[in-house]
Amino acid sequence: MTTPAIITHSMNIMMMVTRTKLFPMTSVGIRSTKQRTAVSAALNELEDFRSTQEIHEYLKERGDSVGLTTVYRTLQALSAAGEVDVILREDGESVYRLCSDAHHHHLVCRQCGHTVEVEGPTVERWADSVSAEHGFTDVSHTLEIFGLCANCSAVSH
Partner DNA sequence: AACGAACTTGACACTCATTTTCATTTAGAG
Partner DNA sequence: CTCTAAATGAAAATGAGTGTCAAGTTCGTT
Residue 76 CA, chain-centre distance (Å), reads 12
Binding-residue total with Zn ion (CB under 5 A): 6
Of 145, 143, 141, 116, give the one whose Cα is nearest residue 130. Answer: 141
Size (the chain), residues:
157
Cβ closest to DNA, residue 18 vs residue 53:
53
Please tell me whether residue 27 adopts helix, strand or coil conformation. coil
Q: Beta 115-118 vs 85-88: how paired, if at all?
A: unpaired
**Window 35-64: residues binding DNA (CB under 7 A):** 35-36, 51-53
* Interface positions, 91-150, toward Mn ion (CB under 5 A): 124
Instruction: Note whether 143 binds a second copy by CB under 8 A.
Output: yes
Which one, 28 or 150, has the nearer CB to DNA?
Answer: 28
- Nearest-10 crossing angle of helices 52-62, 34-45: 100
Binding site partner of 11, from a second copy, Zn ion, DNA, none, Cβ cut-off 5-8 A by kind: none
Nearer to DNA, 55 or 99 (CB): 55
Window 93 to 112, contacts with Zn ion (CB under 5 A): 109, 111-112
Angstrom distances, CA of residue 116 to CA of 28, 105, 129:
35, 8, 26
From residue 85 to residue 104, what is the string marking binding to a second copy with x (rule CB under 8 A)?
---x-x-xxx----------
* Min separation Cβ 123 and Mn ion, Å: 6
Instruction: Please classify residue 56 by burial: count the beta carbons closer than 10 Å to its beta carbon, then call 0-12 exposed, 13-18 middle and 19+ buried.
Output: buried
- List residues binding a second copy (CB under 8 A): 88, 90, 92-94, 107, 109, 116, 118, 120, 122-123, 126-127, 130-131, 134-150, 153
